[in-house]
Amino acid sequence: MNDPEFEKRRQQLLVDDMIMILQNIRDLAVYRTIAATVPEDLIRKALSEIQHDEASEIGDPVAYFFQEMNRHMEHRSPLEHSAREH
């Protein structure tokens, strides 16, 4: 089943979770790109690590999240975002 409305809603729920967990709305456009291009299980894994404080040694949850997403996207085009400046 490839329902465009379902996919749009699924992506929005992922974006909502990214905003809630990362507590950052500045990178909303990037979150939307991630939700549309990165497999959901990889997004949820990184968000879970942040929620369970496994990423605390990194320091910045947003930077850690983008690092993880970039790692999975390296074989495609790297994500361009302002998070590197954080």
Q: pTM for this structure?
A: 0.78
For the chain, residues with pLDDT lower than 70 are 1, 54-56, 58, 75-86
The string of pLDDT tens digits covering residues 40-58 is 999 999 999 898 876 567 6
CA 21, 42, 11, 84: dihedral to nearest 10 degrees?
60
Do residues 25 and 19 touch, judged by C-beta distance below 8 A?
yes
Do residues 44 and 23 touch, judged by C-beta distance below 8 A?
no
DSSP H helical segments within 24-73, as ranges? 28-37, 40-51, 61-73
Say how far apart CA 86 and CA 76 lie, in whole Å: 24
